Amino acid sequence: MNDLLNTAIIAVLEAGKAILEIYHSGEFEEEIKIDKSPLTKADIASHNIIMSYLTKTEIPVLSEEGKSISYEERKGWKRLWIVDPIDGTKEFIKRNGEFTINIALIEDQLPLIGVIFVPVTGELYFSSKDIGAFKVAVDLHNFDIEKLISKAEKLPLQSKGKTFTIVASRSHMSPETESYIQEMRNTHGSVNLISKGSSLKLCLVAEGQADCYPRFAPTMEWDTAAGQAICMFSGFEVIDWITKKAMVYNRKELLNNWFLVK
Sorting pLDDT into bands at 50, 70 and 90, what band is 235?
very high
Domains, the chain, with CATH or none: 2-154 (3.30.540.10), 164-261 (3.40.190.80)
Is the pLDDT at 147 greater than 90, yes or no?
A: yes
Query: Is the pLDDT confidence value at 155 over 80?
Result: yes
> How far is the C-alpha of 15 from the C-alpha of 19, rounded, in Å?
6
Burial class (CB in 10 A: 0-12, 13-18, 19+), 210: buried
What is the C-alpha R_g of the chain? 17
Q: How far apart are CA 48 and CA 216, in angstroms?
A: 31
* Residue 160 reports pLDDT greater than 70: no
The mean-pLDDT minimum among 85-89, 93-97, 118-122, 169-173 falls in 169-173
Residue 18 has pLDDT above 80, yes or no: yes
Average pLDDT score, the chain: 94
- Judge whether 129 and 233 are in contact, CB under 8 Å: yes
Number of H-type helices and E-type strands within the chain: 8, 14
Q: In whole angstroms, give the CA distance from residue 158 to residue 164.
A: 14
Alpha helices in 75-144 (DSSP H): 89-94
Report pLDDT digits (tens) over 193-218. Answer: 999 989 999 999 999 999 999 999 99
What average pLDDT score do residues 25-39 get? Answer: 86
Stated as kind and residue range, the H or E segment containing 6 is helix 2-25
Residue 143 — φ and ψ, nearest 5°?
-135, 150
**Cα atoms in the 13 Å half-sphere on the side-chain side of 34:** 3
- Residue 54: what residue type? L
pTM of the model: 0.96
pLDDT digits (tens, 9 = 90+) for 42-82: 999 999 999 999 999 999 999 999 989 999 999 999 999 99
**pLDDT of residue 168 exceeding 90:** no
User: Is the distance from CB of 100 to CB of 124 less than 8 angstroms?
Assistant: no
Please state whether the peptide bond connecting residue 156 to the residue before it is cis, i.e. omega within 30 degrees of 0.
Answer: yes
More confident site: 250 or 27: 250
Say how far apart CA 159 and CA 27 lie, in whole Å: 41
Say if residues 181 and 193 touch (Cβ distance below 8 Å). yes
Q: Are 84 and 63 in contact (CB under 8 A)?
A: yes
User: What's the rounded Cα separation, in Å, for the pair 82 and 62?
Assistant: 5
